[in-house]
Amino acid sequence: MNYDIFNGDADGIIALLQLRLANPIESELVTGVKRDIQLLEKVTVRSGDSLTVLDISMEKNRDALLGALKIGATVYYADHHRCGDIPQHQHLQAHIDLDADTCTALIIDKLLEGQFYLWAITAAFGDNLIAKANKLAEEAGLSKEQAALLNELGTLINYNGYGSKTEDLHFHPADLYLALLKYPNPFDVIADADSPFYQLQSVYRQDMDKVLAVESCHRSANLSVFELPDSAWARRISGVYGNYLANLNPDSAHGVLTDNNDGTFTVSLRAPLSNKQGAGDICSQFDTGGGRAAAAGINALAKTELDRFIKTVEEFYT
């Protein structure tokens, strides 16, 4: 069996999109909401299986990865999140780059020597690597208007990945991937009036209108925190809203809390764009937390731990 295992956000979807546009195969798709990252555990691996794993932390999937290799599977792994020690194994091909200015789709773009570079640029926009994506767009000869369209498409694909369960999403990530696979060029998606671009554009604007009415619950020179209610729209917009805030005030960190209605918050943390470090290390200090240097999160932060979280972030970026 071939398994394509990928994060349900823009980076994971577009990383796989590039690989399968270049090398189509029949595979079983394994994905979920953006925060569903321990995806290797969901696969019953047998000897001889082939696993392609994209945009999920090797550190968080280490036990399942070692188990798959021990059974006799071959694993192609590309990612940019915290990885821990990378196992040395003849059946593991690992492409890990922890640079804060890269993402999994850009790693795949290099490996494919730019075959689908417009999609890679779209993913970089979706992963909030705005300066990097704009630079790549300029190098590719795109106009500012074209770059803006890819930015919007990447943002919309990323927006679709956020939620506590797939029922919160407008498209299951596997379905969105399959819908986009029809388009070798992202501008073809935008040109098609029946594509997911326009379906997501409308609902994204509705959710953004709601979140922009929310006042901060904590604000300082180093950190602003916003608390969102326990609702599907809030869960959908939380991560993309964090990116929006980061671009609005690049010298501050930003935290977006979504009430889980069980005494905990889901947390999206964005490091200052002018100092893209520390978010993953901060969130990893809390149970269910992790991520990368520029953007990270906590799946279930006890409300009693909120003051400690704010203090930790404040001290890091002071």
Taking only the tens place, the pLDDT of each residue in 275-286 is 999 999 999 999
pLDDT tens digits along 299-315 = 999 999 999 999 999 99
Q: Cα 263 to chain center, whole Å?
A: 25
CA gap 248, 236 in Å, rounded: 20
Task: Give me the half-sphere count of Cα atoms (radius 13 Å) on the Cβ side of residue 54.
Answer: 30
Residue whose structure tokens are 């280490």: 62
CA gap 156, 176 in Å, rounded: 11
CA gap 135, 94 in Å, rounded: 27
Q: What is the mean pLDDT of residues 198-207?
A: 96
Tell me the average pLDDT of the chain.
96
**Tell me, what's the pLDDT at 35?**
86
Q: What is the mean pLDDT of residues 217-238?
A: 96
- On the question of pLDDT at 177 being above 90, the answer is yes
- On the question of pLDDT at 164 being above 90, the answer is no
* 18: confidence class by pLDDT, cuts 50, 70, 90: very high
3-class DSSP assignment, residue 269: strand
Tokens of 91: 């059946």
Q: What is the mean pLDDT of residues 141-167?
A: 96
* 17: confidence class by pLDDT, cuts 50, 70, 90: very high
- On the question of pLDDT at 82 being above 90, the answer is no
